[in-house]
Amino acid sequence: MKMPSLLEVQQLEVDFPVSTQQAGSPGARAAAVRDVSFEISRGEVLGLVGESGSGKSVTALAIMRLLPEAARLAGAIRLEGRDLPGLSAAEMRKLRGARLAMIFQEPMTALNPVMWVGDQIAEAIAAHSEERLSGNDLIRRAFEALREVAIPDAERRWRDYPHQLSGGQRQRVMIAMAIVNRPALLIADEPSTALDVTIQAQILELLAELRRRLGLAMLFISHDLAVVSQVADRVAVMYGGSIVETAPVRELFLRPAHPYTRGLLDSVPTLTSDRRRPLRTIEGAATAASALPAGCVFEPRCEFRTAECAGSFPPLLEVSPGHWARCPVVNG
């Protein structure tokens, strides 16, 4: 019998209003996310990959129930069997930081600039922990969280403000706040993008260690396939607001099925790349959410497109066990 997934996202749709000048008609809306479905099991890492504007962060914010009021959401999102869109605001606040937590891309904008970082961790514990800690117990737990993420001299750094820390240290503080209450699912939205390569590797190693030790499941969002290959068990590739391919990480890298995934992989240099030949590029530019085609979202840029591709929005079809692609040409 199949065990229930920790997180289930089914046919998620998110759209936003657009100006009449952009859309050409009043009341028009643009689809930021369209027909997105995936599952994450306990302890599993799903990598969500795509270029800027593909819908990755909107998907994460939809799961967290942090979308702006103007957004319109449809579809199902269930965490441990609970219907997240159906929860009250108070119930969702209780869930965030306890069973579900998020690391944001830029900690300098996510951390409070006028609070000590230790106090911010203590505040996260007080707001979301089921143990109702206070006083010395609260401070002790916050110190432990700083040590857990390898902040040196935690007792002294407690009274630092975010601007007094390096970029890597600020990201470690964000991770400490996210994991201090032992959530079941951690959403990491480009957690290492703004860091140099050495610090990036340290943050990825830290997340991998926390995953092993705490049994965390993770939705790891990135535009970098090489980074995702290091941390993910499965990968979902997004383009134009839709998942165009999903597969176990090794399968995706060895046998990419969707033309967009192939283009991404071909554009990344490897140790065996011929330095005398330029890397492949994907011709054209991504289509704006307000002007997505009726058919395949990648069709305007695809070298394999046929008349069928422009006709209707293609479903995800199974290429091989556990490997799905939204491409009738590849699957035909």
Q: What is the pLDDT of residue 278?
A: 72
Helices (H), 20-65: 20-23, 56-64
32 vs 57: CA distance, rounded Å: 10
Which span out of 150-164, 173-187, 191-205, 276-290 was modeled with the highest average pLDDT?
A: 173-187
Q: Is residue 166 part of a domain?
A: no
pLDDT of 300-325, one tens digit each?
Answer: 888 888 888 888 889 999 999 999 99
User: Who has greater pLDDT, 106 or 32?
Assistant: 32
Strand 7-17 relative to strand 29-40, pairing: antiparallel
Beta strands 45-49 and 217-222 are: parallel
Residues 6+ apart with CB under 8 A from 187: 60, 63, 64, 100, 101, 102, 103, 218, 219, 221
Distance CA 59, CA 110 (A): 18
Model confidence at 3: pLDDT above 60: no
For residue 194, being part of any structural domain is answered with yes
Q: Is the pLDDT of residue 142 over 80?
A: yes
Report the mean per-residue pLDDT for the chain: 88
pLDDT at site 139: 85
Exposure string for 60-72, b = 16+ CB within 10 A, e = fewer: bbbbbbebeeebe
Beta-strand (E) ranges in the chain?
Answer: 7-17, 29-40, 45-49, 72-79, 82-83, 100-103, 185-189, 217-222, 234-239, 242-248, 317-320, 323-325
pTM, to two decimals = 0.91
Q: What is the dihedral of CA 306, 239, 198, 141, to 10 degrees?
A: -150
What are 24's strand-pairing partners?
Answer: none
Backbone φ and ψ for 116, nearest 5 degrees, come out as -60, 145
Task: Tell me whether residue 160 is in a domain.
Answer: no
Residue 277 has pLDDT above 60, yes or no: yes
121 in any annotated domain: no
Average pLDDT over residues 283-292: 78
Tokens 């099925």 belong to residue: 257
- The domain that holds 76 is classified in CATH as 3.40.50.300
Residue 218 lies in a domain: yes
* In a domain? residue 158: no
User: What domain range is 283 assigned to?
Assistant: 7-99+183-331
Indicate whether 139 belongs to any domain: no
Asked if the model's pLDDT at residue 1 lies above 50, the reply is no
Q: Any idea which of 23-32, 94-103, 163-172 has the lowest mean pLDDT?
A: 23-32
Q: What is the DSSP string of 121-142?
A: HHHHHHHH-TT---HHHHHHHH
Assess if residue 238 is contained within a domain: yes
Number of domains composing the chain: 1
Which tokens is 79 given?
A: 């965490």
Q: How far apart are alpha carbons 301 and 46 in whole angstroms?
A: 27
Give the model's pLDDT for residue 316.
92
